[in-house]
Amino acid sequence: MTGLPRAEAFEAPSSWLTRASLSQGIRPKDLLAFMGFARGVLRRADPDLLLMSAAGRGVLDSAGILAAMPVARKVFNTLKSVDPKGAVLLRDPHGQPCSRYCPECLRDQRMPHFELHWRFEPWRHCPLHQCLMEGRCAHCRQPVLLPFDMVTGGQAGVAHLRDCQHCAGPLHAVTPVRLEGLGMTELDRVRLRNGQALMAALYHGRLRVQDGTWMKTSRSEKYIKAMTFWKPGGWHSPDDVRASAVVRTL
């Protein structure tokens, strides 16, 4: 298969799959079938885990794509020992796949794409822009899910991943919720930092706990869940923050 786009250095495999399908004028599930996966596999497995499986890596390597995904390779290789099906770290508390985004990062990218760490449930804020991650389109309020068919997305198709897959509205056209002024506790801040540190731990295959000792990620699932997760609702959801602001102004 020719004409496949090069993956961005920190791009999520599911983001690349979405863009690659558009380059061929087909649906993601058809591209996966061409890669040798069974029909309907997306209903049973996470797309990023599929592409980073042994079978997926073999096809990507033969197409010259895998070399551009060094971070994804390491992260998902470690994830196998912590959360092999992605049921904890790649899905929200309702069991839906996580595909959040920072509107300012998405706006500034030369090639719009969803970054690898945006796919992980504990990654709740953008440390570069100090804002909460968005999970829905600001225009139609529909959730962002990858991969999707860009040929028919937004009803008439979308040209890039900066556009909503449902209404084609610009995902970045939303006022970010800044961390400043949210009234976070020190434990809240620790959880945010731990969510950020989790990606480094998955990349290196180990993490360091507060007393300075090192722990293999394969033995740290309970620690990760205890120190990175929030219950649904609260200030860490931009929708909840905006709803509270509306109530206060009424």
User: Phi-psi region for residue 98, left (φ > 0), alpha (ψ -120 to 50) or beta?
Assistant: beta
71 and 161 share one domain:
yes
Statement to judge: residues 203 and 156 lie in one domain:
no
If one counts the domains in the chain, the total is: 2
Average pLDDT over residues 198-213: 79
Give yes or no for residue 85 having a pLDDT over 70: yes
How far apart CA 127 and CA 66 sit, in angstroms, is 27
Domain that holds residue 227: 186-249
Confidence of residue 167 (pLDDT cuts 50, 70, 90): very high
Regarding whether 56 and 78 lie in a shared domain, the answer is yes
Whether residue 35 is found in the same domain as residue 122: yes
Q: Which of 179, 203, 232 is the last residue of a domain?
A: 179
Give yes or no: residues 134 and 83 share one domain.
yes
Same domain, yes or no, for 150 and 240?
no
Q: At what angle do helices 221-228 and 186-204 cross, to 10 degrees?
A: 140
Of 179, 210, 228, the last residue of a domain is 179
| DSSP-based three-state secondary structure for 204 | helix
Claim to verify: residue 88 and residue 150 sit in the same structural domain: yes
pLDDT in tens, 18-72: 999 999 999 999 999 999 999 889 888 999 999 999 999 999 999 999 999 999 9
Task: Tell me the C-alpha to C-alpha distance, in Å, between residue 18 and each of 7, 30, 151.
Answer: 11, 11, 10
Could you say which of 157, 179, 201 is where a domain stops?
179
Please give the share of the chain, as a percent, with pLDDT higher than 90.
Answer: 58
The pTM assigned to this predicted structure is 0.90
pLDDT of residue 248: 47
